[in-house]
Chain A
Amino acid sequence: MQNSNEGHLQIRLITKQQIYAVPDVPLSVPQTIDGNSLNDLVNQLLKESNSDHLKPKNFDFLAIGELLRVPLIEHLAERNISTETTVEIEYVEKTPAPEPKDSLLHDDWVCGIEATEKWILTGCYDNSVNIWSTHGKMVASLKEHKNIVKAVSWIDKSDPNRGFISVSHDLIGIIWSYEDGTDSAAPKALLRGHERGIDSLGVSPNTARLATGGWDTNLKLWSTSLDDDGSEHVHKKIRSTNNIVTKTPLHTLKGHKEAITGINWIDNYAVSTVSMDHTIKFWDAELCGIKNEIVGQKAYLSSSWSSINNTLLASSADRHIRLYDPRSSEGSLCKVTFTSHSLWVSSVAWSNYDTNLFISGGYDSSVKMWDVRSSKAPLYNLQGHEGQVLKVDWSNKKYMVSGGSDNSVHIFKNKHV
């Protein structure tokens, strides 16, 4: 601030976190101030106003709704903001860096992961479905599938006892029963109906429905219940000798021209799918029709829907992650493009507690943690993988889990919560 030969800017520091509030007065700071010096400034102010503030905290700064990553003047110049007005800078406590916790070694590539409070479910290229505890202990390894397991999902993430589902390139999905804490998992139902490999899987929020999609370009909806597949449904059940029900799809939704690579339930009656045919489609699960369609430029590889901020993240067969707001009417549907990966981004996952955070994994063997407000650079690069990252998962907010072609699942502990 003492450097008088450069220009100064008027800023006003605001925050939504009341405990870190500082007096609301405009401050004059050098134009070239960056995050670190702003951090010092805020800590100084906090120390002055609040004697309890002993330990300096790390803050992130938001100017014009985007995280400050370069000197303030450049940040403003990029967005064509006049430097003559008072710039409002919001600061939030910095998201702490995730910490590598564990590495779960598999026999083959891992391409399906979902975590609950205690368990991590993985699908593996050696046709196995594995259950691990979050502490890194393998609970069960189930080899029912005859081909690579592409996706796995718990039916109810809060209640592992309801079982889980796995889909595979052997054209079959399996609904498994599971008793919490034991290794007793057994296939309860086979989902038959796909003609080619199943790549993606999604369970509706109320856990009643299930959607699968794959290389036969059809989206198929199934019921998750094992017993009440009663007479109102047309599909027939075949009870085999060892009590395995074979289910057929409730509905088959045709529309995509190429493989469906990502399925996300928006609510109990709407599904979004992304496909290699460059489209994102929104389906009505009740009426079984297309509600909306977004046509992109590249083949999509994965997607993630955030029920908190109602936006869809989609990664495509290039190096970018795109954020879509399907409800927006003005401008382009693609709101932000996140660019940092150097190869294809194979998987994205929203955080389920924060509107701004998500993680992504790419073929450049990196897992990145992003803030929506910083599109050019991720918050953190989570190192550890030695091959392509095939799947990332953040359904347990404490752990970011990623699996890849180095046959391992890496668990990063989220220190934010």
Chain B
Amino acid sequence: MGNKQEIKHVKRKNQEETNSTEKEAESTEDEELLNVINGEDEDSSDDDELEISGSENEESDEEDEESEDNEEVESEEESENTDDDQESEESDNEENSEVKAENSKNLGDSAGANINEKVANNEYEDFDSSDEEDIRNTVGNIPMNWYNEYKHLGYDWDGNQILKPETGDNLDAFLKRMEDPDFWRTVKDPQTGQDVVLSDEDINLIKRITAQKIPDETFDEYAPWIEWFTSEVEQMPLRKFPEHKRSFLPSKHEARKVSKLVHALKMGWIKTRAEAAKLRAKKEPQFYMLWQTDDQAEDMRRIYKHISAPKRILPGHAESYNPPPEYLFDEKELKQWNKLKSAPWKRKLHFVPQKFDSLRKVPAYPRFIKERFLRCLDLYLCPRAIKMKLNIEPESLVPKLPSPKDLQPFPTILAIEYKGEKCQIFFFLLQKINWFYNLGHTDMVRSISIDKTGQYLLSGSDDCTIKIWEVNTGRCLKTIKTNSVVRSVEWCPNAALSLVLVATGQEVLLINPNVGDYLVNSKTDTVLQDVPKSDVVTPERVRATVQWIEPDEEQYKNGVRLILKHFKDVCQVTWHAKGDYFATVMPDGQNRSVLISQISRRRSQLPFTKSKGLVQCVLFHPTKPFLFVATQRHVRIYDLVKQALMKKLLTNSKWISCMAIHPLGDNLVVGTYDRKMLWFDLDLSTKPYQTLRLHGTAVRGVAFHKHYPLFASGSDDRSLIVSHGMVYNDLLQNPLIVPLKRLQNHEGFNDFGIFDVVFHPLQPWVFSSGADATIKLYNN
């Protein structure tokens, strides 16, 4: 049943597929067959093999025909399906194996005997006739279709035509197919045109070849390997004869040759490779670097500290044969260049840049030799010397100042203003006229001073008043009217005396302000009341300069205790540190411009007989009996005991305005109208240790703090500058000066800014009095 189904299947397939596929189908079919035969046929012999090899040619010739007749064969096969089951196998691969088994059995029974028979019979024939049969036709190996037109196929050995056998018509062929069982294995011999029936061996062979197997089916591909030439070293020689003698005796000929070579080496006739290389190296010319590097000074032998020639400037764009157009001279430049003919060294370029189309058009440089010569002359004649150059950055020369943050406390903020409040004037003028005097100044405040405890502030103003203020509240406690503009005020440094010095016009007033300790106030009054008797006659010169006058009743009520009437306007008064002496300055007084007075004796002296210049201000040393006198350009220090000039400080400025001395007495700050502040270290030199140009305009007031390392300066540019001025006990250490803060709260008036600067005696606070009629307190 299964077979029948397969056949049907094959038929249908055949209809569908083309011829080529049919061919394939056939071959596979044959292959199957061959396999089967192979499996059966075990006892094949060498003879078979030979036979098959001999018949190969025949088959190969026949193959063409076979392919031509394929259609016929196919049709035959189809018809034979019922007889042989093999043909159907190709159709269904899955069932192949089963069918194979069956087929092999069938074939084994039928074909096995035939083969054996044939081998026995044809042994001889096949052996000899294989060549002869081939060449029965003598036409040679030509395409047989040349004979298609003829009746014959060629010629036999005798020259007779070999006639083409009669080919039957289709009917004959059909009949043959139907009747002849060997039809499928009948092929046409192209040489003779005869039909040849292929033997089983032939078919087997064909099948093996087409399956790409070894045609000889008796050849055992998997035969055990025989190692004819082994890699192992044998114990015994393979060969029977022994080794030749020369294989173990040294050759005399070679020895002779070697000895010859050794002798030649010894004699130096020939060289070893190493020797030859050495020799070659010796022979080759020796090169060395003329310059180690390009930029370093060349280290020339025998010349000690050789100074290399200066390098020429590398050519620039202007030297180019084709310079950019901006380098080419225009008319003006060319004119200028030509103009400098007499002074060629002044030219920017020593040649005129030229433009050429190409490098080959550049002519020879006419000055080449000349310039080389000049260069050589230069190098030869110009002495060279090593110039040591110090590269110091300007920043490194600036001393590193500490940050102001680390130098606290110092005044930074405006705390209190000591001034009148205008709205209140009108309000209280109605109620109390007296109140008016408790208000602030109405004109420029030229001078201020603070009492020792820091409780009261004294100020003198151009409105012809002095005022006493309560520092902590800004309250004006007292107003004392004077006859003239108040130029200078100063509180007595003696704690036992309640006195202030006021310079107003030509008068110097000694006023008891009557604030603070009542005991001191009353004691001061009593001290001043009794006039000391003295028999010393005041010299005429002094008498003409100053007169001591007792105040009248009203003045006494106001607090004035003594009046010193001078012959000229007094512009400055200053106390000695002990509070007994004071100095007054009259700039117009010529040689009588400085006057020193003593309260306890009510006596005045004129320390100088000669005028050294316009005296600006004077100052007592805080501890020693020295007097500092500042004229316009110099500060002179006099020893009052020895009555001699000690030192003259050169300020190098045009006009001194004010000065202040450090509480320790070794440092002096001088303010000048030409905007400078000069710090003198008196131990160091007579020239300023440091010049501070911090202000924009004239400096009018400088002051030192008594305890804190601070000093301040006020100027016409309305700014008060607070600086750190640390003086060290160590003489080797220079004072440290750091400007800290600029305080600019005053308003300007008539180009005046700040007049006076005073530090609080205990707190790090600073007061400044200004042209805007106010006094300002700055605290930390």
Interface residues of A (CB under 8 A from B): 107, 109, 111, 125, 148, 170-171, 195-197, 215-216, 257-259, 276-277, 297-299, 301, 317-319, 343-344, 346, 363, 387-388, 390, 405
Partner of B780, one of A125, A170, A318, A387: A318
Main secondary structure of the interface of A (DSSP, over half): loop
28 CB < 8 A contacts A-B: A111-B473, A125-B475, A170-B518, A171-B517, A195-B519, A196-B453, A196-B455, A196-B516, A196-B517, A215-B453, A215-B516, A276-B454, A276-B762, A298-B780, A301-B472, A317-B415, A317-B779, A319-B413, A343-B416, A344-B416, A346-B473, A363-B415, A363-B416, A363-B474, A387-B421, A405-B473, A405-B474, A405-B475
Contacts of A259 in B (CB 8 A): 453, 455
Q: Decide yes or no: A258 and B416 within 8 Å by CB, A171-B518, A317-B763, A387-B421 being known contacts.
A: no
Contacts of B518 in A (CB 8 A): 170-171
Contacts of B431 in A (CB 8 A): 107
What per-residue 1/0 map shows which CB atoms of B736-780 lie under 8 Å from chain A?
000000000000000000000000001101000000000000011
Decide if B409 touches A297 in the complex (CB within 8 Å). Answer: yes
Decide if A215 touches B455 in the complex (CB within 8 Å). Answer: yes
Bound together, the chains give a CA A195 to CA B762 distance in angstroms of 19
Q: Decide yes or no: A390 and B455 within 8 Å by CB, A196-B516, A318-B779, A363-B416 being known contacts.
A: no
How many residues does chain B have at the interface if contact means C-beta atoms less than 8 Å apart? Answer: 24
Contacts of A388 in B (CB 8 A): 473-474
User: When A and B form their complex, which 8 residue pairs have the shortest distance between CB atoms, in order from nearest?
Assistant: A195-B517, A196-B517, A215-B455, A317-B779, A196-B516, A299-B763, A171-B518, A344-B415
Which residues of B501-555 have CB atoms within 8 Å of chain A's CB atoms?
516-519
Decide if B779 touches A258 in the complex (CB within 8 Å). Answer: no
Nearest B residue (CB) for A171: B518
- In the assembled complex, how far is the CB of residue B78 from the closest CB belonging to chain A, in whole angstroms? 88
Decide if B779 touches A197 in the complex (CB within 8 Å). Answer: no
- In the assembled complex, how far is the CB of residue A216 from the closest CB belonging to chain B, in whole angstroms? 8
Contacts of A216 in B (CB 8 A): 517
Nearest B residue (CB) for A342: B413
Decide if B453 touches A390 in the complex (CB within 8 Å). Answer: no
Bound together, the chains give a CA A346 to CA B472 distance in angstroms of 9
Decide if A258 touches B516 in the complex (CB within 8 Å). Answer: no
Bound together, the chains give a CA A344 to CA B454 distance in angstroms of 17
Contacts of A387 in B (CB 8 A): 421
- In the assembled complex, how far is the CB of residue B330 from the closest CB belonging to chain A, in whole angstroms? 70
Query: Apart from A171-B517, A317-B415, A317-B763, what are 17 other A-B pairs with CB-CB below 8 Å?
Result: A107-B431, A107-B432, A109-B473, A109-B475, A148-B475, A171-B518, A195-B517, A196-B516, A215-B516, A259-B453, A277-B762, A317-B765, A318-B413, A319-B413, A363-B474, A387-B421, A405-B475
Q: Decide yes or no: A343 and B455 within 8 Å by CB, A197-B516, A318-B779 being known contacts.
A: no
Bound together, the chains give a CA A346 to CA B475 distance in angstroms of 14
Which residues of B462-479 have CB atoms within 8 Å of chain A's CB atoms?
472-475, 477
Bound together, the chains give a CA A215 to CA B515 distance in angstroms of 12
Contacts of B779 in A (CB 8 A): 298, 317-318, 344
Bound together, the chains give a CA A405 to CA B409 distance in angstroms of 29
Bound together, the chains give a CA A297 to CA B763 distance in angstroms of 11
Bound together, the chains give a CA A45 to CA B126 distance in angstroms of 127
Bound together, the chains give a CA A125 to CA B432 distance in angstroms of 14
Interface residues of B (CB under 8 A from A): 409, 413, 415-416, 421, 431-432, 453-455, 472-475, 477, 516-519, 762-763, 765, 779-780
Decide if B473 touches A276 in the complex (CB within 8 Å). Answer: no
Contacts of B763 in A (CB 8 A): 276, 299, 317
Contacts of B519 in A (CB 8 A): 195
- In the assembled complex, how far is the CB of residue A136 from the closest CB belonging to chain B, in whole angstroms? 20
Contacts of B780 in A (CB 8 A): 298, 318
Bound together, the chains give a CA A267 to CA B18 distance in angstroms of 131
- In the assembled complex, how far is the CB of residue A144 from the closest CB belonging to chain B, in whole angstroms? 16
Contacts of B477 in A (CB 8 A): 148
Bound together, the chains give a CA A405 to CA B475 distance in angstroms of 9
Nearest A residue (CB) for B453: A215
Contacts of B762 in A (CB 8 A): 257-258, 276-277
Decide if B472 touches A258 in the complex (CB within 8 Å). Answer: no
- In the assembled complex, how far is the CB of residue A86 from the closest CB belonging to chain B, in whole angstroms? 42
Nearest A residue (CB) for B455: A215
- In the assembled complex, how far is the CB of residue A290 from the closest CB belonging to chain B, in whole angstroms? 20
- In the assembled complex, how far is the CB of residue B40 from the closest CB belonging to chain A, in whole angstroms? 93
Nearest B residue (CB) for A344: B415
Bound together, the chains give a CA A387 to CA B516 distance in angstroms of 25
Nearest A residue (CB) for B765: A317
Bound together, the chains give a CA A259 to CA B516 distance in angstroms of 12
Contacts of A258 in B (CB 8 A): 453-454, 762
Bound together, the chains give a CA A276 to CA B475 distance in angstroms of 18
- In the assembled complex, how far is the CB of residue B191 from the closest CB belonging to chain A, in whole angstroms? 105
Contacts of A298 in B (CB 8 A): 779-780
- In the assembled complex, how far is the CB of residue A407 from the closest CB belonging to chain B, in whole angstroms? 8
- In the assembled complex, how far is the CB of residue A278 from the closest CB belonging to chain B, in whole angstroms? 9
Nearest A residue (CB) for B421: A387
Bound together, the chains give a CA A343 to CA B763 distance in angstroms of 17
- In the assembled complex, how far is the CB of residue A173 from the closest CB belonging to chain B, in whole angstroms? 14
Bound together, the chains give a CA A277 to CA B761 distance in angstroms of 12
Nearest A residue (CB) for B762: A258
Contacts of A319 in B (CB 8 A): 413
Contacts of B516 in A (CB 8 A): 196-197, 215
Contacts of B413 in A (CB 8 A): 318-319
Nearest B residue (CB) for A111: B473
Contacts of A346 in B (CB 8 A): 473
Bound together, the chains give a CA A160 to CA B632 distance in angstroms of 68
Contacts of A318 in B (CB 8 A): 413, 779-780
- In the assembled complex, how far is the CB of residue A303 from the closest CB belonging to chain B, in whole angstroms? 15
Bound together, the chains give a CA A65 to CA B657 distance in angstroms of 59
- In the assembled complex, how far is the CB of residue A389 from the closest CB belonging to chain B, in whole angstroms? 11
Most B Cβ at <10 Å: residue of A277, A299, A318, A387: A299
Decide if A197 touches B415 in the complex (CB within 8 Å). Answer: no
Contacts of B455 in A (CB 8 A): 196-197, 215, 259
Bound together, the chains give a CA A170 to CA B515 distance in angstroms of 9
- In the assembled complex, how far is the CB of residue A271 from the closest CB belonging to chain B, in whole angstroms? 22
Partner of A343, one of B409, B415, B472, B765: B415
Bound together, the chains give a CA A265 to CA B409 distance in angstroms of 31
- In the assembled complex, how far is the CB of residue A98 from the closest CB belonging to chain B, in whole angstroms? 25
Contacts of A195 in B (CB 8 A): 517, 519
Nearest A residue (CB) for B779: A317
Bound together, the chains give a CA A352 to CA B421 distance in angstroms of 36
- In the assembled complex, how far is the CB of residue B393 from the closest CB belonging to chain A, in whole angstroms? 39
Bound together, the chains give a CA A115 to CA B268 distance in angstroms of 135
Nearest B residue (CB) for A146: B518
Bound together, the chains give a CA A109 to CA B475 distance in angstroms of 9
Bound together, the chains give a CA A390 to CA B518 distance in angstroms of 25
Bound together, the chains give a CA A111 to CA B474 distance in angstroms of 13
Bound together, the chains give a CA A216 to CA B520 distance in angstroms of 13
Nearest B residue (CB) for A170: B518
Contacts of A343 in B (CB 8 A): 415-416
Contacts of A363 in B (CB 8 A): 415-416, 474
Decide if A390 touches B473 in the complex (CB within 8 Å). Answer: yes
Contacts of B765 in A (CB 8 A): 317
Contacts of A301 in B (CB 8 A): 472
